[in-house]
Amino acid sequence: MVNRTSALWQQFAVICDLIIIRSEGEARYYEELPVDYVHGSDFGAAEGYFTITLEYGPDHDRFDPFDVSVGPHLAE
């Protein structure tokens, strides 16, 4: 799941988790799939689906993400 994945964090904007909502209301959860694959496959043809990715904001390379003294920075 999202709270324990390393793939989404290491391959941001490339790997996603996927939730497919079926017409009966049932939801299926798939972990660590390539985003491009999802959109171009039968998954992408589903009636309803959500992709979950982790993304860095603009200028993310200006700050050390492990420096806790920096604090949060919002895009200007």
Domain ranges for the chain, please list them: 2-59
What percent of the chain has a predicted confidence (pLDDT) above 70? 88
Rounded to whole angstroms, the Cα distance separating 19 from 7 reads 16
Residue 12: half-sphere exposure toward Cβ, Cα within 13 Å: 6
The pLDDT tens digits of the residues spanning 36-63 come to: 999 999 998 888 999 999 887 777 777 7
| Burial tier of 35 (Cβ tally within 10 Å: 0-12, 13-18, 19+) | middle
Amino acid at 40: G
Retrieve residue 30's tokens.
């798939």
